[in-house]
Amino acid sequence: MALTGTLRVRAQGHAEALTCDALLIPSDVMHEIDARGAFVLIAYVNPESDLPIPGLDETGSGVQPFSDVVVARWREALGSCQTLNSQRVHLWMTRELSDGCRSRPIHAGVQRVLERLRADDLGRPQTSLTALAAVAGLSRSRLMHAFTESIGTPLRPYIRWLRVQRAICALYSGHTVTEAAHLAGFSDASHFARSLRRTLGATPRQLLPRVATPNDPGAPRLDESCGCLSQFVQDSDAPTRYDQRTSIARR
């Protein structure tokens, strides 16, 4: 969402760019955002989130702009780029995104897998389909089907997203790129770099210098809010390609 200015978004399969102030983009949809001249908040929502995002379950595979009424209400809640901080973002989430319930039920076996993935390390043995099927108490094929049906995202892309989050937390905590890659379950630093590029449109070394918490010196550090809301500012003179959905204040 553009707190100031407008966005030009080109999504996979669409030749023409969409101009809007805020929009919802499903996971695994390649897209390019031109936010030059705008201050933008990008909220990446975990697929299993209970937040009843307007239109989330109806979006399907296409991007969906929000109405002017919704945008005006959200801008008022979040304030300007000078006043944006974690408290405002939290209040916005509480008032605008927490009044409801998740419409897509989660299979009990899938819920056990989610809990294991969040609590355990993401190494290859622990995240193998065989190991996770045993946790779920389902066959491997049934787990893959139930996971996609429950979460809306296939199992492997979901694990990749968790690994990217964990690796970014490790980087911000002072680990090297290689250390962060191994801590998050990537096979090597190159594998991490490719996944990060695909997910956030940046390499590990490009990402770190841009991390900051504007107007909010007391806000949680990225490693303290891994998997939850986080913020950083990115200055750019060109559009950026993204292929997933954490929360970024982008100018």
Domain ranges of the chain: 2-103+206-250, 107-151
Span 21-42, average pLDDT: 84
Higher pLDDT, 198 or 140: 140
Report the distance separating Cα 197 and Cα 47, nearest Å: 20
pLDDT tens digits, 60-75: 557 888 899 999 999 9
Q: What is the pLDDT of residue 129?
A: 94
Span 202-225, average pLDDT: 53
User: Residue 249 — pLDDT band, cuts 50, 70, 90?
Assistant: very low
Residue in the structure block whose two tokens are 């989660």: 106
Query: Considering the chain, what percentage of its residues have pLDDT values greater than 90?
Result: 30
Q: What is the DSSP string of 33-97?
A: EE-TT-EEEEEPPPTT-----TTTTT-TTS-EEPPHHHHHHHHHHH--TTT--HHHHHHHHHHHS
The pTM score is: 0.66
pLDDT tens digits, 94-116: 787 765 555 578 899 999 999 99
